[in-house]
Amino acid sequence: MKYLILPGFSEKNKQWAHELRDGLESHEINSAVIEWEHWRSKEESDFDFKREGEKVIKEIDNSEVGIIAKSVGSILTTRLLKSIPQRIIKIVLMGIPLNSLTEADRENFSVLKNFPAENILVFQNSQDPYGSFKEVRKFIEEINKKIKVVVLLREDHKYFVNQTLLDFLKEEQILFSCSFISFPCRKNFF
């Protein structure tokens, strides 16, 4: 299975995403980085969830993928899951930017309750400035208590390849297929 890496917003996440991809590939995990349009244009206002989501959907095509998302990438992941649930098999969320979520973003995360908890893994740093582990764990538990939230003992918004991530991604058994679960699938993104 291929994993798409949906990075955080700032351009420094470009290097992070490529390093993550390289680290995963060194462990024989196939992955690709989605680069945000505003990184090329140098205009933050060029970030558009709809356009970026359409780019991800095009990359997915008709295949099934896993998603590894950091920060703003986690917001886009929840929107994608509403739009194309049949294509997403596993989800890793890193550094959910809880303190920056709008009410609509928070509501979008509720789509995770319809996704098999065993196919979701959340990493949150203990003192992430965008939301501490305790805050994010409480938020996720309100959605689905069975989703695993892993604490990393850091005080920043940086996330790296670790053994828990590798074990989750390499897990051979696919525990989910959309054909067994009824999701309202939309034709248009968002």
Q: Are 175 and 64 in contact (CB under 8 A)?
A: no
For the stretch 78-97, pLDDT in tens is: 999 999 999 999 999 999 99
Residue 185 lies in a domain: no
Residue 172 has a pLDDT of: 58
Range of the domain at 122: 2-180
Residue 79 lies in a domain: yes
The CATH number of whichever domain residue 29 belongs to comes to 3.40.50.1820
For the stretch 127-158, pLDDT in tens is: 999 999 999 999 999 999 999 999 999 999 99
Residue 109 has a pLDDT of: 98
Residue 190 lies in a domain: no
Residue 186 lies in a domain: no
> Please, which residues have CB within 8 angstroms of residue 4's CB and are 6 or more apart in sequence?
31, 32, 33, 34, 56, 59, 60, 65, 66, 67, 68
Residue 51 has a pLDDT of: 94
List of the chain residues with pLDDT < 50: 173-190
Residue 122 lies in a domain: yes
Quote the CA–CA distance of 157 and 126 in Å, as a whole number: 10
Residue 172 lies in a domain: yes
Residue 62 has a pLDDT of: 86
Residue 146 has a pLDDT of: 97
Residue 184 has a pLDDT of: 37
Residue 188 lies in a domain: no
Residue 49 has a pLDDT of: 93
Give the distance, in angstroms, between the CA of residue 172 and the centroid of all CA atoms in the same chain.
20
Task: Please give the DSSP secondary-structure letter assigned to residue 56.
Answer: H
Give the count of domains, the chain.
Answer: 1
